[in-house]
Structure 1
Amino acid sequence: MKLSKKLLLGSITGILTLGAGFPVSQWLKSTPVAATTTSNTNTLKLVHGAYVYNKKGQRLTKYRGSRYNTHLRKGTNIKYAGTIQPIEKDSKQYYLLNDDNYNQSWLPYKKIKGKYYYNIGHGGYINAANVNEINGQPLYVASATVTIHDKNKYDNFPKKGLYVGSGSDRILIKTGQKITVDRTSTIPTGNSTSVAYRIAGTTDTFVITKFVKNKPRQKLAIYTIDTYVGLKQNSNAYSISSILKPKITNKNVILAKNENLPVIRKIYVWVPKDNKAELFYRLNYYSPEESINYENAIQNQLFYVKAADAIYLSGPQLTPANTPEEAQADAKIATASDKQDLQKLIDQEKTITASSNYKNEDYVNTYKAQYDEALKQAKAVNSSTSVSITEVKEAVWYLTTQQEALLNATKTGNGNVKETMAIN
């Protein structure tokens, strides 16, 4: 029987192709110059017209010998001075994402009077706020200031303002108010989802973009509660058994290239045919949205995809739960001794099902359902005489996390269920 899905804040649908909003209400009145170059090498691309300044933040009256070069047109590609350098994650206001979509780099900027400027050589600087690409790659901003407005065609703010968020993060926002946002996501709104910005300084308080007047010029990092990866190619979904014993397994579900997958764990599994351990992601059983193939994989207990076939997209960065050496050692058949920890967890069933949280109707389709499914899988593993130690350890991990999630679940002050599960 299919379990009810839990709608998690921060689904990734639609957000991966979200573009920056470009304000067009104001245009610089001086005569702009045409693009100086069309190459992406060592270039900045302007998303807005930009004046040229000196190192003190003063507008130049001449640049490169002409007053006409002191203002650059929107869309201009202009050479910069300096080199791209790696940085500690989330340490700079403006940054680039590396090929792994997680680590970051930056083009060093100069902060002058509270604003950030890129050096374009010949004594000239331009405001980084007017740049949206470096070397053809999108520029990200750590945070941006936007203005709330109530001129949406269908929904208006209450006169006294609109509350967003919950608990200690509950905030009253009003039309005309300026707020700082630092992430983008999609959030559930009724029977659908809407693109939203997270308000800086909160964990999960969002304002829907239709209530934002001046959208950020640069990209904001994607926020999701779960970790998501994207497939670089069509990829098989696996069980541990199908990895260790591919010849005796006839289940086969292929997940499509570019599919975005919620994942919950990263582990090494021994691959006998290659005589080495490989990294795999474990799919998250509870997903805000599921493709048919994803659903088929889950229902057939094919929880794993090769990490080499995927690239990180968003959410907490996962680290391997074991080592290659442990994966090789755990590929052998589990003995009764290897199953002791799993048996102890299963023996706690009566205590768990007698708990107030298990009997709480608010948790029937979430925590209770998750625990029941984890217990069912654990019993199947425990009763099998052919499972590997890896499968036993995975069953222990999964049942432990779902049991703890159920017992630790609480409610917020407004009566909503508070997500306390930390399975990443």
Structure 2
Amino acid sequence: MNLHKKLLTITSTLAFILPITVSNKIYAADSVVTKTLMHNSAVYNKSGEATGEAYAAYQNIEFYSKPVKIKGQQYYRISYENNYIKLSNIDGVKRKVTANSYVYASSVKRANKRLIRKGSTITTYGGSYKFKNGKRYYRIGGPKKQYVKVANLSKSADEVAVPAKEEVATATVTSKLASIYTGTGKNGQELKVVKKKLKVGSKFTVDRFSNTPFSNWFPSTQYGDAPMYRIKGTNNWLHYADVKVNKELELHSFDLEHSSRIKFIKDTDIYNADGTMQDHQGQKIAKQGGSLKVDKLVYLWVPSEQKAELFYHPVAQRMYATSKGSSDIIELHNGYVKASDVKFNMGLKLIPGNTPQEAKVAYDKLIISKKANQQSVITEDK
């Protein structure tokens, strides 16, 4: 496929979309690598506390390659963010097989005819699952369902699986104007030149080909929004037009691999975090042609319906509105939209950060808190 055609596969979104604010601290000595999540994964902050966000299994995510220990557990830090995912959900851990074991797809169905012999070693991913038969199983592969009984594996898990070999290529400088670039500022989006006027014929080992967060900072008359080759072992990049590679690497999109997007397929109401509908004098979010970023998928208890429903939290806080009002822009006020009112479009598929039961408990606590505050105000007035 022609490279320029590839560059047209990623489309931009509305001008009102705001970026997620994340830490921009980059460790120069730590390279960025792409790893596949092998287990549904909660996202943790630097203190080891769950953020409420999560990724579904088999997503490709960029991480800093050096693991970080938080409260005795190993994590990988997500690139360009100060968030973390447990290492065991990614690299897995090696366990000894203590009894001949079949591979299962469910509690009553085998995944295949494979028999794993006692004494062999296998890699398991993440925590165990409890099946309907009451027994626990570890995931051992995918994306097809493959599980082995926990009871047939060693309890200790102190060996980390060896990460897969990285794909690399050699990039040769072909332009007298070639430079080395890196990203700074919010979300690593601002362009910074590390070294100018590289010598033609200089060679670099590169391990990723991607539309970086700072790609669109190049003047449109020069390069426009175009991909870069990452120099292995660094967070520095070479522009594709300045080099020639000895083999083609897969083209990645930083934006799509680090965000989720929805489409507004109809005029849509906005809800508060307490499940109540916002009052916009008849206006709603208008049906949109483009896709918009969301950063959460959660259950909220909807008191008017007396049930929990799934909601997306849009990153943008200003969107086009229906024409039933004085302005064509509507403010979301940190609002949510029902998942049933929109359509998932592209990027990472989010999984709910809570359960319907947890949403009901959170709502009940909020009501109790509101009543206590109202009682306090009445007491003070007396």
Q: TM-score, normalised by structure 2?
A: 0.39
Q: TM-score, normalised by structure 1?
A: 0.36
Structure ranking higher in helix proportion: 1
Structure ranking higher in strand proportion: 2
